[in-house]
């Protein structure tokens, strides 16, 4: 998918909502456990019920890998289902990968070619040549960790450098010099809305994936105040707040209600913005 197509979808749906498919089998409604592949069945029903309200879905690979081969199969079926039925949806493999050059190329092939995701999340610690192999894929996006919203996020990301900038600022600045950096997006945690103003000074045009709205405590309006740019430039993720809003037979319907609340809030924010 191109950046232009993603922005068109956001304007069409009046939504920049991403739904995280972090599916824990312990939280899947009991009646689904009898189906052949409960995780895929859960995802399918969530997707069908919410696809008109969201522009992106983000399976977190850890929740599939922990079930081994069966889990990888559920992941494969989920992305195939999305690509076949809703090709207009932007798909994110939340995998936090990153390694030396030839290995990063293999990871890029895994997610961009074998599974055919539109994007993958990566970690910056190993530097330019660990990320550039991902950026080499046309019409695919690489979403790099910048500032995360977990407690330990500040341990290293907020370290002050001798240049007096913080590490995450340096990560953002350096990444703008990398080849094909227009294919980059950044993960920025929503519980640090104050930081968005600062981050937008460094990366005014790139999309930010914001994972912490909802269960992790971030506030949508705070994030939008400084995070939105002239082409929206935000994807706001909610996982648990939507997919586990009900753990009963009505889970998909209740998930759609929760997604709709966020979409309406986004529609209102977008209308003020115009």
Active site residues: 96
Site for a second copy in 209-228 (CB under 8 A): none
* Local structure of residue 130 (DSSP, 8 states): H
Q: In the set 1, 11, 48, 72, which binds a second copy (CB under 8 A)?
A: 72
106 near a second copy (CB under 8 A): yes
CB neighbour list of residue 81: distance below 8 Å, 6 or more residues apart: 40, 43, 44, 47
151 near a second copy (CB under 8 A): yes
CA dihedral for 48, 50, 56, 57, sign (positive or negative): negative
- Using CA atoms, how far apart are residues 218 and 213, in angstroms rounded to an integer? 4
Site for a second copy in 157-196 (CB under 8 A): 157, 159-162, 164, 167, 170-171, 174
- Using CA atoms, how far apart are residues 97 and 114, in angstroms rounded to an integer? 16
237 near a second copy (CB under 8 A): no
Nearest-approach distance from CB 273 to a second copy, in angstroms:
30
25 near a second copy (CB under 8 A): no
129 near a second copy (CB under 8 A): yes
261 near a second copy (CB under 8 A): no
List of long-range contacts for 108-115, beta carbons under 8 Å, 24+ apart? 108/133, 108/134, 108/136, 108/137, 108/140, 112/137, 112/140, 115/75, 115/76, 115/79
Q: How many residues form the binding site for a second copy (CB under 8 A)? A: 59
* Local structure of residue 191 (DSSP, 8 states): G
Residues that bind a second copy (CB under 8 A): 22, 24, 60, 62-63, 65-69, 71-73, 76, 94, 96-101, 103-104, 106-107, 109-110, 113-115, 123-131, 145, 148-157, 159-162, 164, 167, 170-171, 174
């Amino acid at each position: 998918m191109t950046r232009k197509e993603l922005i068109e979808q956001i304007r069409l749906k009046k939504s920049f909502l991403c739904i995280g498919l972090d599916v824990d089998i312990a939280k899947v409604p009991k009646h689904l456990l009898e189906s052949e592949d409960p995780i895929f069945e859960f995802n399918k029903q969530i997707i069908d019920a919410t696809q008109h309200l969201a522009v992106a879905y983000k399976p977190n690979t850890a929740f599939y890998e922990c079930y081994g081969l069966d889990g990888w199969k559920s992941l494969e079926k989920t992305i195939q289902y999305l690509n076949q039925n809703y090709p207009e949806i932007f798909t994110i493999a939340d995998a936090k990968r990153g390694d030396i050059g030839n290995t990063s190329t293999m990871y890029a092939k895994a997610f961009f070619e074998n599974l055919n995701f539109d994007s993958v999340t990566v970690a910056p610690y190993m530097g330019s040549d660990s990320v550039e192999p991902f950026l080499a894929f046309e019409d695919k996006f690489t979403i790099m960790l910048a500032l995360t919203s977990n407690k330990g996020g500040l341990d290293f990301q907020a370290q002050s450098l001798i240049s007096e900038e913080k590490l995450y600022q340096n990560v953002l600045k350096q990444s703008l010099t990398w080849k094909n950096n227009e294919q980059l997006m950044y993960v920025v945690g929503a519980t640090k809305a104050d930081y968005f103003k600062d981050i937008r000074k460094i990366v005014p045009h790139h999309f930010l994936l914001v994972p912490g709205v909802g269960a992790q405590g971030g506030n949508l309006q705070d994030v939008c105040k400084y995070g939105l740019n002239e082409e929206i430039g935000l994807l706001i993720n909610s996982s648990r707040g939507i997919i586990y809003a009900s753990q009963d037979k009505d889970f998909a319907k209740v998930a759609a209600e929760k997604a709709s609340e966020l979409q309406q809030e986004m529609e209102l924010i977008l209308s003020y913005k115009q």
